[in-house]
Amino acid sequence: MSVPPGTAYIDGDFVLMAEAKISVLDWGFLHSDATYDVVHVWKGRFFRLDAHIERFIASAARIHLSLPVSRAELVRILAECVVRSGHDDAYVEMILTRGVSPTFSRDPRDAVNQLICFAIPFGWILRPEERDKGLSVAISEIQRIPPESVDPRVKNYHWLDFVMGLYDAYGRGAGSVILQDASGNLTEGPGFNIFVVQAGTIATPHRGVLEGITRRSAIEIAEELGFRVERRPVPAEAARNADEIFATSTAGGIMPISLVDGIPVGSGGMGPVTRRLIDAYWEKHGHPGWSVAADALLSRRFPISD
């Protein structure tokens, strides 16, 4: 099986990505019992690493997982994965699974939590050369898992609602999907948050969504540029009548959505608000308040398996 080139940290050691494996008895595999976070490195610099680390630690606490290393050690592990991988532009993931119970107990408290980190080449939802064309999405009738059941602020692998929504979208000729809540309001897509622009005001769903770091970045940048941003319910119909729609994700940043249910959004391409936000977002990647060089984070080296 071919895997992307990179470096992983697992069982307290660094290995090649192809050698990183977990037990089939890990609750993360058996029950999707895990949390994770993804930060990207661009031109050798981590983007908003502190925010991703804070969310990861908070997510672990919410679902009763214990990080087996300190925050400082986690930062060094992530940086070491990047430096060892040799990738200047990298997709860097940290995962904490419930782990394996030594007695195969059904009590999650008996499992030994497992930390896994890795760095592989940066991956895009929408590549830069495709931005003017934008994403095509369908709004599915399949409902997002409600926050009363699974807290979406905890980044998780509960994706069957998204996967079924994707099949719905593919069947309708779209490339991705946005799910609604029980009231017919937009929530999010598989791996991305949603923003709707109408008459110069930007709105984003405030409930039942992951509070994405790129979402936060887009809000902060928009407010810096003088736009009004509202966090509120966004009915599905608002997307169908929007001037512009864009998505935000670590895997691609700010991305225009040009088609909803086969109907062009606005002019059918990238709108002026989205373009300004995209330009400002990528400029922030060199800002010392928003990014830090991976090699600057290393204070000591780690052994690696042969």
Type of residue found at 124: W
* Strand locations in the chain (E): 7-10, 13-16, 34-42, 45-47, 90-100, 112-121, 135-143, 176-180, 193-198, 201-204, 228-231, 244-249, 253-260, 263-264, 291-293
Residue with tokens 């509070």: 211
Distance from C-alpha of 207 to C-alpha of 180, rounded to nearest angstrom: 11
Does CATH place domain 7-122 in 3.30.360.10?
no
Distance from C-alpha of 73 to C-alpha of 148, rounded to nearest angstrom: 33
**pLDDT value, residue 268:** 86
Distances (CA, A) of 145 to 25, 195, 222: 25, 20, 29
pTM: 0.94
Name the class of domain 128-286.
alpha beta
CA-nearest of 37, 45, 36, 38 to 282 is: 45
Burial 33-60 (b: 16+ CB within 10 A, else e): bbbbbbbbbbebbbbbbebbbebbbebb
Distance from C-alpha of 184 to C-alpha of 74, rounded to nearest angstrom: 40
Burial 241-261 (b: 16+ CB within 10 A, else e): ebbbbbbbbbbbbbbbbbbbb
Distance from C-alpha of 236 to C-alpha of 196, rounded to nearest angstrom: 10
Q: How would you classify the pairing of strands 34-42 and 193-198?
A: unpaired
- Following CA atoms 178, 165, 132, 229 in sequence, which dihedral angle do they give, to the nearest 10 degrees? 10
**pLDDT value, residue 300:** 52
Numbered ranges of CATH 3.30.470.10 in the chain: 7-122
**pLDDT value, residue 305:** 44
The two structure tokens encoding residue 99: 């782990």
Numbered ranges of CATH 3.20.10.10 in the chain: 128-286
Q: How would you classify the pairing of strands 291-293 and 45-47?
A: antiparallel
**pLDDT value, residue 306:** 34
- Following CA atoms 249, 26, 158, 134 in sequence, which dihedral angle do they give, to the nearest 10 degrees? 30
pLDDT in tens, the chain (306 residues): 688 999 999 999 999 999 999 999 999 999 999 999 999 999 999 999 999 999 999 999 999 999 999 999 999 999 999 999 999 999 999 999 999 999 999 999 999 999 999 999 999 999 999 999 999 999 999 999 999 999 999 999 999 999 999 999 999 999 999 999 999 999 999 999 999 999 999 999 999 999 999 999 999 999 999 999 999 999 999 998 999 999 999 999 999 999 999 999 998 889 999 999 999 999 999 999 999 999 999 865 555 443
Residue with tokens 């069982």: 11
